[in-house]
């Protein structure tokens, strides 16, 4: 079963394909399967359009992203794609890009800076994702559930907003409680390590009804931790996460995970179109939303076959 709420990506125009752009792309790193797909998709879209994409991998460090943006400005690129690792600390470098008349498109994550400092944000609504996960879990458990939470990277908009959305829904259910919550840095290894510590602290699965992981990779690491501890993931502990990477569909098809919410990795097209629109003096929405549906095990094998 698939529950869709909105996909509002703009359609690629013919004139967009004809233009010639040089674009800098400061990517966070490669912490998850989703991130790798996003990088590949944006590079492929640039190649398809014949653009010159200057790619920089920040290895999870904001200082590397700031250096990359400054280098793109010095090279006089036509636009910059920035996937900000954390929410705060961007004002200065965004002002520098603005002074140089170079539009910055935020990709996937948001910043706390004034929206006038960037052209647009092409991203999912992370609060909606967290709220959807919580609503689904509330329905599954009749509003009674002790939850352990694996948070994404500290300070990232993805972690902050997914938690806010999830918490806002469970606050309506007095018997839904987060009993443990810690960051697993959006990585499989982090998810496994933190889940091991949750299981140790709780003396196994008996007091845990569900795991909410801010991404699939952490859920997959946690599933491994459960199996190593003799716990049946999805049966002893419900597993709900976000991203919809191929491996989570395999886990659902194998009966080891219960639900995932899709995060669209194909953000390059709308981001490049926004830069072109701004070059033509056209107005661009401040937030181009890209939310995806919630998937359940009944379609997992077919989805895995399509995506692996």
Is residue 31 a contact point for ligand AHR (CB under 6 A)? Answer: yes
The burial class, CB within 10 Å (0-12 / 13-18 / 19+), for 222 is: buried
Rounded least distance, CB 127 to ligand AHR, Å? 13
The residues, ordered by sequence, that sit 6+ positions from 265 with a Cβ below 8 Å of its Cβ are 34, 37, 38, 41
- CA torsion through residues 32, 36, 41, 43, sign: positive
Rounded least distance, CB 196 to ligand AHR, Å? 20
* Sole binder of ligand AHR in the list 27, 151, 183, 215 (CB under 6 A): 215
Rounded least distance, CB 33 to ligand AHR, Å? 7
CB of 280 within 8 A of CB of 245? no
Rounded least distance, CB 108 to ligand AHR, Å? 5
Beta bridge partners of 82: 26, 106
Give the x-and-dash track for 171-210 against ligand AHR (CB under 6 A).
Answer: ---------------x------------------------
Is residue 108 a contact point for ligand AHR (CB under 6 A)? Answer: yes
Rounded least distance, CB 219 to ligand AHR, Å? 10
* Sole binder of ligand AHR in the list 21, 23, 27, 32 (CB under 6 A): 32
CB of 222 within 8 A of CB of 150? yes
Maximum distance among all Cα pairs of the chain, rounded to whole angstroms: 61
Is residue 45 a contact point for ligand AHR (CB under 6 A)? Answer: no
Is residue 158 a contact point for ligand AHR (CB under 6 A)? Answer: yes
CB of 140 within 8 A of CB of 238? yes
Is residue 27 a contact point for ligand AHR (CB under 6 A)? Answer: no
Identify which range of 28-36, 39-47, 278-286, 297-305 contacts ligand AHR by CB under 6 A. 28-36
Is residue 105 a contact point for ligand AHR (CB under 6 A)? Answer: no
* Sole binder of ligand AHR in the list 25, 34, 72, 90 (CB under 6 A): 34
Is residue 242 a contact point for ligand AHR (CB under 6 A)? Answer: yes
Rounded least distance, CB 143 to ligand AHR, Å? 26
DSSP 100: T
When the beta carbons of 45 and 217 are compared against ligand AHR, the nearer one is 217
The burial class, CB within 10 Å (0-12 / 13-18 / 19+), for 84 is: buried
Rounded least distance, CB 149 to ligand AHR, Å? 14
Where are the extended beta strands (E) located within the chain?
Answer: 2-3, 22-27, 52-57, 79-82, 104-107, 120-123, 144-151, 175-183, 210-213, 238-243, 259-263, 287-289, 291-295
Is residue 263 a contact point for ligand AHR (CB under 6 A)? Answer: yes
Beta bridge partners of 260: 241, 295
Identify which range of 30-38, 56-64, 69-77, 133-141 contacts ligand AHR by CB under 6 A. 30-38
CA contacts within 13 A on the Cβ side of 222: 39
Q: What CA–CA distance (Å, rounded) separates 159 from 90? A: 18
Is residue 243 a contact point for ligand AHR (CB under 6 A)? Answer: yes
When the beta carbons of 186 and 304 are compared against ligand AHR, the nearer one is 186
Q: Specify the 3-state DSSP secondary structure of 234.
A: coil
Rounded least distance, CB 123 to ligand AHR, Å? 8
Instruction: Give the interface with ligand AHR as residue ranges (CB under 6 A).
Output: 31-32, 34-35, 108-109, 158, 186, 215, 217, 242-243, 263
């Amino acid at each position: 079963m698939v529950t869709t709420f909105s996909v509002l990506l703009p359609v690629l125009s013919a004139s967009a394909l004809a233009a010639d752009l040089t674009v800098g792309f400061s990517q966070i790193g490669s912490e998850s399967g989703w991130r790798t797909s996003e990088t590949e998709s944006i590079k492929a879209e640039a190649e398809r359009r014949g653009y010159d994409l200057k790619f920089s991998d920040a290895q999870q460090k904001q200082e590397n992203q700031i250096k990359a943006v400054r280098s793109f400005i010095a090279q006089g690129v036509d636009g910059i794609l920035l996937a900000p690792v954390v929410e705060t600390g961007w004002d200065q470098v965004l002002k520098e890009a603005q002074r140089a008349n170079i539009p910055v498109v935020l990709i996937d994550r948001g910043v706390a800076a004034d929206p006038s400092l960037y052209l647009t944000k092409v991203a999912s609504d992370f609060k909606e994702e967290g709220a959807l996960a919580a609503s689904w879990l509330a329905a599954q458990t009749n509003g009674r559930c002790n939850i352990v939470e694996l948070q994404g990277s500290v300070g990232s908009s993805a972690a902050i907003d997914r938690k806010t959305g999830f918490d806002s829904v469970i606050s309506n259910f007095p018997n839904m409680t987060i009993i443990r919550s810690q960051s697993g840095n959006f990585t499989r290894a982090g998810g496994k390590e933190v889940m091991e510590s949750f299981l140790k602290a709780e003396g196994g699965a008996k007091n845990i009804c569900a795991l909410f992981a801010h991404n699939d990779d952490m859920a997959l690491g946690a599933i491994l931790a459960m199996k190593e501890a003799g716990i049946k993931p999805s049966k002893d502990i419900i597993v709900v996460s976000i991203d919809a990477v191929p491996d989570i569909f395999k886990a659902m098809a194998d009966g080891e995970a219960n639900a995932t919410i899709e995060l669209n990795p194909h953000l390059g097209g709308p981001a490049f179109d926004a830069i072109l629109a701004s070059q033509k003096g056209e107005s661009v929405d401040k937030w181009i939303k890209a939310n995806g549906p919630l998937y359940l095990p009944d379609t997992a094998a077919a989805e895995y076959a399509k995506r692996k």
